[in-house]
Amino acid sequence: MVLDYIKSDLCRYVGIDNVNLYNFSKYYIFHTGFKFSFWLRLTKSENRLVSTVARVQRRRLGTKYFLSIPSSTKIGYGLYIGHGQNIVVNHTAQIGNNVNLSQFTSIGSNHDNAATIGDNVYIGPNVCIVENVIIGNNVQIGAGAVVTKDIPESAIAAGVPARVIKINDLPNYYSHNRWPLN
């Protein structure tokens, strides 16, 4: 099961037809976001030694690149971490399948649970998602937005505070190389 999550994350970088050992090695070496998600996924391993080493590596990379995504966070298949730095996610957040997290993203809560994020969502750079909001499937959130209210499915949202600019019937084109869910 952990291997499927790792494959799904790699798929987001290279496409489903190019998930192989060569591309795994290439993206592990050269892409911080993939390297971090690899160790994050391995923290769920049933092998105690593997999960212990993974926790140490996740913490080491998290400290080095300012990536704070707890291993207890519920994350679906196909996580894409753009630029691999400066991301903070609350442990109560729920992240769907094929989600893009850009640099300087913050998903947090001061009171109860953090956000629930749907499938095929693109979160632009420097976005803050505050408190227990629900973000629907196929949503695009523009750079610098501060999300304090729910965003419906297929919406494009931007601004401070974030407002729905448009409901888009087309698939989210920023969420490319999706991991097939069926």
Confidence (pLDDT) at 123: 96
Distances (CA, A) of 62 to 42, 56, 81, 117, 139: 14, 10, 12, 22, 27
83 as an active site residue: the answer is yes
- Give the active site residue among 31, 83, 91, 176: 83
**Domain-wise residue ranges, the chain:** 1-67, 86-170
* CB proximity list for 42: less than 8 A, separation 6 or greater: 2, 6, 50, 51, 53, 54, 57
d(CA 136, CA 141): 11
Q: Please name the CATH architecture into which domain 86-170 falls.
A: 3 Solenoid (2.160)
Nearest CA to 36 out of 120, 73, 133 is that of 73
Confidence (pLDDT) at 180: 86
Q: What is the pLDDT along the chain (182 residues), one digit of tens a residue?
A: 899 999 999 999 999 999 999 999 999 999 999 999 999 999 999 999 999 999 999 999 999 999 999 999 999 999 999 888 899 999 999 999 999 999 999 999 988 899 999 999 999 999 999 999 999 999 999 999 999 999 999 999 999 999 999 998 877 778 888 888 86
Confidence (pLDDT) at 182: 67
- The sheet that has 146-147: what strands, in order across it? 67-68, 87-89, 105-108, 128-130, 146-147
Nearest CA to 61 out of 36, 27, 86 is that of 36
Nearest CA to 92 out of 121, 112, 67 is that of 112
